[in-house]
Amino acid sequence: MSKKRALITGVTGQDGAYLAELLLSKGYEVHGLKRRSSSFNAQRIDHLYDGPHAVEEGLKLHYGDMTDSTNLIRLIQETRPHEIYNLAAQSHVKVSFETPEYTANADAIGTLRMLEAIRILGMEKETRFYQASTSELYGLVQEVPQSETTPFYPRSPYAAAKLYGYWITVNYREAYDMHASNGILFNHEGPTRGETFVTRKISRAVAAIHLGRQDKLFLGNMDAKRDWGHARDYVEGMWRILQQDEGDDYVLATGETHTVREFVELAFKEVGIEIVWSGEAESEVGKCASTGRELVAVDPRYYRPTEVELLIGDPRKAEEKLGWEHSTPFPQLVKDMVQSDLKLIELEATYRRNHGGE
Ligand code: NDP
Ligand code: GDR
């Protein structure tokens, strides 16, 4: 039997890299859409890609962009994937307030372009489609925990764009009988999480402070609560969603919620520092309990014009129908991220020393 082919948009991102690894391990022929950048930005998939001349098993990369329909049509035509995982997006909520139009173009219309490309090519019956939907759709709290039936109330240009992506995926499933599904994924992290998302920003800063390379960590809203899982578990869920007989929508979450402040506390604990808090809102600071040194402070520049205060997901449908479960407890996630950043920052320092940087 010939291999199953998958196409992943956003393959250079956190989830794209984990998913490519998973699908390759399952014997898929994996194609990834990568956009052009002025320098190499494929560190997360370097270990999976053997270069353009390799003939064997590795990941195959193609240039493209979610804002370019002709490119997407050609790519799908050339690769004829059995499964498409649409992960590409301007995925930063705060940045979406600065670039709302681009975010809508890539995240909302980009999803439409993918679905329409499948239809234009007459591949509705041969290609299954996964849309990277998000817990940000819930936005302003309507009910907790949030499930597949909880009403949406987006609170950012990103969430509004993803709302379109969600519904256009549902619509193509219903209108054209496509196997099209939404994974409504709650926050998932890991050592390769982008450095500007709060968990990685914290783990990197804690490692750098511990190693004497940074003085202080500045954060925005520390009261925000998130349901944080490990990305490796969540890409397994994406794959399971596309193995079902019918397309459908599923929440993937841990069912636990923690504040940003708790993440900070646990991360510092990992390097032997206990944080004590004082002050409120914009003047809140976190000090080292034993030395009194100020290590954390609030900078309102990281506040969002509208915030999502509380996310906690109900993953029961995914557990029952997909047999999916998350495997990484919150303290383990924090520990893994801090330990990984300690190693990384030490390596960076060694590199700089060996190359005359300091
Ligand atoms: P990342 O930000 O790490 O990765 C996003 C990917 O999309 C990158 O490969 C990026 O390329 C690519 N991309 C961005 N814009 C374009 C474009 N115009 N054309 C082509 N590619 C583009 O996100 P994650 O891996 O964390 O998330 C994957 C998807 O899941 C996203 O759609 C995100 O919105 C969604 N999601 C994520 C959650 C999470 O907690 N991680 C939770 C719920 C949903 P480049 O590397 O060049 O920037
Ligand atoms: P989120 O993730 O917005 O939930 O979107 P992020 O890590 O950016 O923020 C989580 C919470 O932390 C608060 N926060 C800060 N956030 C950042 N980035 N930087 C800070 O300094 C900071 N200080 C406090 C935020 O206000 C927020 O409440 C992520 C993305 O991966 C989306 O693509 C995805 O859809 C959702 O998760 C589910």
The ipTM (two decimal places) reads 0.99
CA 323 to chain centroid, in Å, comes to: 22
Q: How many CA atoms lie within 13 A of 169 on its CB side?
A: 30
Say how many Å lie between the first and final Cα of the chain, rounded: 56
On whether both 242 and 219 belong to a single domain, the answer is no
Are residues 356 and 219 in contact, defined by beta-carbon separation less than 8 angstroms?
no
Residues classed as catalytic = 134, 136, 158
Average pLDDT over residues 138-146: 97
Amino acid of residue 182: N
Tens digit of pLDDT for each residue in 101-121? 999 999 999 999 999 999 999
Is the CB of 61 within 6 Å of ligand 2?
Answer: no
Determine the distance separating the centroid of ligand 2 and the alpha carbon of 320, expressed in angstroms.
Answer: 29
Instruction: With cut-offs at 50, 70 and 90, classify the pLDDT of residue 355.
Output: confident
Q: Is pLDDT of 332 > 60?
A: yes
Average pLDDT over residues 213-223: 98
Instruction: Report which secondary-structure segment, H or E, holds 86.
Output: strand 83-86
pTM for the model stands at 0.97
Determine the distance separating the centroid of ligand 1 and the alpha carbon of 350, expressed in angstroms.
Answer: 31
Ligand approaching nearest to the C-alpha of 132: 1
* Alpha-carbon dihedral sign for residues 245, 173, 158, 315: negative
On whether both 44 and 27 belong to a single domain, the answer is yes
Are residues 341 and 209 in contact, defined by beta-carbon separation less than 8 angstroms?
no
Q: Is pLDDT of 253 > 70?
A: yes
Instruction: With cut-offs at 50, 70 and 90, classify the pLDDT of residue 56.
Output: low
On whether both 220 and 145 belong to a single domain, the answer is no
Q: Is 104 inside a domain boundary? A: yes
Residue 1: predicted pLDDT: 67
Q: 3-class SS at 222? A: coil
On whether both 347 and 221 belong to a single domain, the answer is yes
User: Residue 280: is it exposed, middle or buried by C-beta count within 10 angstroms (0-12/13-18/19+)?
Assistant: exposed
> Which atom number of ligand 2 is nearest to the Cα of residue 159?
35
Determine the distance separating the centroid of ligand 1 and the alpha carbon of 107, expressed in angstroms.
Answer: 9
Inter-CA distances, 277 with 2, 101, 103, 262, 322, Å: 59, 39, 36, 11, 42
Residue 262: which CATH number?
Answer: 3.90.25.10
Q: How many CA atoms lie within 13 A of 107 on its CB side?
A: 25
203 compared with 57, residue with greater pLDDT: 203
Pocket test for ligand 1, best of 85, 86, 87, 130 (most atoms within 8 A of CB): 87
Residue 139: predicted pLDDT: 98
Ligand 1 site, CB within 6 A: 9-10, 12-16, 35, 37, 41, 65-67, 87-91, 106, 132, 134, 185, 187-188, 194
Instruction: Report which secondary-structure segment, H or E, holds 308.
Output: none
Which domain range does residue 182 map to?
A: 5-190+228-252
Per-chain mean pLDDT for the chain: 96
On whether both 172 and 47 belong to a single domain, the answer is yes
On whether both 123 and 14 belong to a single domain, the answer is yes
Instruction: With cut-offs at 50, 70 and 90, classify the pLDDT of residue 54.
Output: low
Are residues 88 and 10 in contact, defined by beta-carbon separation less than 8 angstroms?
yes
* Parallel, antiparallel or unpaired: strands 83-86 and 60-63: unpaired
Q: Is 324 inside a domain boundary? A: no
Q: 3-class SS at 185? A: strand
Number of structural domains found in the chain: 2
